[in-house]
Amino acid sequence: MIDAYYWPTPNGWKISIALEEMELPYRVVPVNISRGAQFEPEFLAISPNNRMPAIVDHDPPGGGDPVSVFETGAILIYLAEKSGRFLPTDLRGRMEVLEWLMWQMGGLGPMLGQAGHFRFYAPEQIPYAQERYNNEMLRLYGVLDRRLEGREFIAGDYSIADMACWPWIITYKRQQVNLDDFPNVKRWYKALQQRPALRRGYEVGKEFGKPTGDWDEEARKNLMAQANPGKQ
Ligand SMILES: N[C@@H](CCC(=O)N[C@@H](CS)C(=O)NCC(=O)O)C(=O)O
């Protein structure tokens, strides 16, 4: 059994989608990031970066002590290797998937995160930051769009690279991105949306609430704590 330390956000959905797609048994341990659960010592022991998601696999391949993993890129690789699915084993196919997974981890996720932060959550309007991250977001949409030209999936067959990117594209409306400007992304996004396992993964924890939506005062305090340690 895998414990999934989770809250329904783009990074959380990557893992709930992967667990559903791979048909691995798991149970959800809610980490309410708008109430500061990511700073609890028990969670920090698993995820020292005070970010969710993280997993603990009580039945790791080869047996032995439970394995805990934080960072969604590492979690996706772990789950793909455990299940033997969605990550090719041949050198070239594997590297292609890992390239795009790393592109998501270092580019698409962080830049869209910052674009949203400066537009919707920052206590002051900073046009330079808003423009910089908005431009970077649109540039990355363009990169993905060119990659998907003539391709059904990001790298070979459906893989953990698609599972990493899709939950970030969900935010397009809120981020005011016109998907018609990125027709290949739009086709890929809508096609994946039809996958029953992906839909199940996206539904996990719907009842918990929406920390990526409007923040109340306490959520603001908890989610800004890392950025403004002096203001906690
Ligand atoms: N690079 C990390 C990012 C995880 C991340 O940023 N998670 C957010 C939710 S989407 C979080 O836990 N935020 C809590 C906070 O900012 O204190 C990963 O891929 O696992």
Q: Is residue 226 part of a domain?
A: no
Residue 191: the pLDDT is 98
Instruction: Return the residue whose CA atom lies nearest to atom 14 of ligand 1.
Output: 51
Ligand 1: does its nearest atom lie under 6 Å from the Cβ of 223?
yes
37: domain CATH number is 3.40.30.10
Give which of 49, 156, 29 is closest to 93, Cα–Cα: 156
Q: Are 99 and 93 in contact (CB under 8 A)?
A: no
Residue 231: the pLDDT is 38
Instruction: Return the residue whose CA atom lies nearest to atom 16 of ligand 1.
Output: 223
Q: Is residue 205 part of a domain?
A: no
Residue 122 to residue 117: CA distance in whole angstroms: 6
Give which of 71, 70, 95 is closest to 159, Cα–Cα: 95
| Domain count across the chain | 2
DSSP at 105? I
Q: Is residue 188 part of a domain?
A: yes
Instruction: Return the residue whose CA atom lies nearest to atom 12 of ligand 1.
Output: 51
Q: Are 72 and 15 in contact (CB under 8 A)?
A: yes
What element of type H or E holds 2?
strand 2-6
Residue 7: the pLDDT is 96
Ligand 1: does its nearest atom lie under 6 Å from the Cβ of 38?
yes
Ligand 1: does its nearest atom lie under 6 Å from the Cβ of 136?
no
Both 119 and 187 in a single domain? yes
The residue segments making up the domain with residue 97 are 91-199
Ligand 1: does its nearest atom lie under 6 Å from the Cβ of 71?
yes
Q: Are 175 and 115 in contact (CB under 8 A)?
A: yes
Tokens in use for 93?
Answer: 């196919």
Residue 31: the pLDDT is 96
Instruction: Return the residue whose CA atom lies nearest to atom 2 of ligand 1.
Output: 71
Residue 229: the pLDDT is 44
Ligand 1: does its nearest atom lie under 6 Å from the Cβ of 54?
no
Residue 218: the pLDDT is 79
Residue 210: the pLDDT is 65
Count of C-beta atoms within a 10 Å radius of residue 1: 11
Residue 208 to residue 163: CA distance in whole angstroms: 22
Both 70 and 99 in a single domain? no
Residue 220: the pLDDT is 74
Give average pLDDT by consecutive 10-residue segment, the chain, 232 residues: 97 98 98 92 96 98 97 98 98 98 98 96 95 98 98 98 98 96 98 98 90 69 60 36
pTM of the model: 0.95
